[in-house]
A and B are shown apart, each in its own frame.
Chain A
Amino acid sequence: MAELSSNFLYAAFILYLIATFLFGGSIKDKRGAEEKKQNKWAKLGIMITILGFASQIGYFNTRWIAAGHAPVSNLFEFTTFFGMMLVGAFILIYFLYKLPALGLFALPIALLIIAYASMFPTEISPLIPALQSDWLHIHVTTAAAGQSILAISFIAAIIYLVKSVDQSQSSKRTFWLEIIMYTLVSTIGFVIITSTFAAMDYKANFDWVDKHDELAKQEFNLPALVGPHEGELTDTERFEPLVNMPAIINAKKLNTVIWSMGIGLVLYGLIRLISRKRVAALIKPIVKNVNLNLLDEISYRSVLIGFPIFTLGALIFAMIWAQVAWTRFWGWDPKEVWALVTWLFYAAFLHLRMSKGWQGEKSAWLAVIGFAIMIFNLIFVNLVIAGLHSYA
């Protein structure tokens, strides 16, 4: 059953990839660029996307059966699920607005998220007592649904920015847009480097001294550019770290970050060298026929649709469950706080838009920041700030 489940996931991955190219084709075809006039490419694209979504639901259900609980209990499972909901949200918004360009950006980002997820341990893990509740799937699925719809607003915003930011001269706006592009490229870098060394089964073990002055062991799965505090490499023929970190810094995680950013920089540099253009300028022609007003509206609509769902899942259901499992509905756990931060941010977004008239580009930048906060909560809070939620 577990094997069947991962096959479904592979199939979904491939289908999303194909659909991306189909949406690419639909953009090239002039007729598809305008709203509502779907061409054959786009129709095929959305069909393949739905097929992929169905396949991923197959993955979800079979894994649920295999595990005996909803597969949303560790980072791999949750992040994959988030990718799936993102595709689901895209399908929903696509049927509202029929904009193929959205698929051309939403699907690669979903692919990136799923690829990123599979870098984490994928074995089926049992539920600790605190997680044994129906609220697990109620809370997690609703929260993820809300987040994924909010993520669509980010995708529409990215397209908006790619189109609207003037690339003829360099400015703050082009700079930040390139930062976004670089971040996406670095995620690819992370996936490439992690899976390459995992395929080689690279292991470098260290003895090191932790912050309590005690001897500890740590296994690196990437060549250690930076080593742990007073680290001694115990394996032979492994890369010696260039520098050792102080004890309060987690060298393994920092090493992974350095690798990802480095590979990202190489990839990004290559793109710039070959094309002699900013990445955003490079992809700008793809979106030249897209209507900015429509994108702005999609971005805003997604926030409007996603915000209530997010509130329900990530705050209200979360509080109800916390009251049952942890005796109090709110405990200022980092994950809780960041859900609140996300919520406050989108509340500010809505107020700025409704009362201050922040539309168009301003609103697009805000949507980007909102997504950055959610990703921060998903990744950074789980991996770096330890709290009650760091089960993975």
Chain B
Amino acid sequence: MDKKKRRLVSRTIILLLLGAALVFALYTNFTKEKNESLRKGSDAPNFVLTDMEGKEHMLSDYKGKGVFLNFWGTYCKPCEYEMPYMESQYKNYKDQGVEILAVNVGESDYAVNNFIAKHNLTFPVMIDNGSKVENAYRVDILPVTFLIDKKGEVVDIITGALTEESIQKHMERIKP
């Protein structure tokens, strides 16, 4: 009788382990694409970049503030679409503790300066030469925006063009 019970227990354990392995395999297979990108709730990787005016920005210096981190390129239409909205919302939220950092994906100074002039951008714009920050944030599709809260945590990741309304909503989410 005792022997039988032991056997039942060991069988249950083995089956549970195997079942767990199978569930794990299925789970990781279906979250594979998500794993490629940064996860919500993880710490935003720190970086340091120099903006077009020569000022150095280190992400960790913005602890206590919300950061609207946007990756973009001049050749990307939806990026261009959301820029004016970002600019107008920047004016509203600058004093409420939300900073915009717009990281260009390694284009020439010439192209970026032209773009800034064209759209009269006042928030810091920086070029990520050598794609180091892009790699750290595992950027794939442009535009992509990382919402970083005052603790330096990634609250949300939004790909695709944003409307003025949605930018405002997102700003509210990371306002300290």
Do A and B contact each other directly (Cβ–Cβ < 8 Å)?
no
B-side interface residues toward A, CB under 8 Å? none
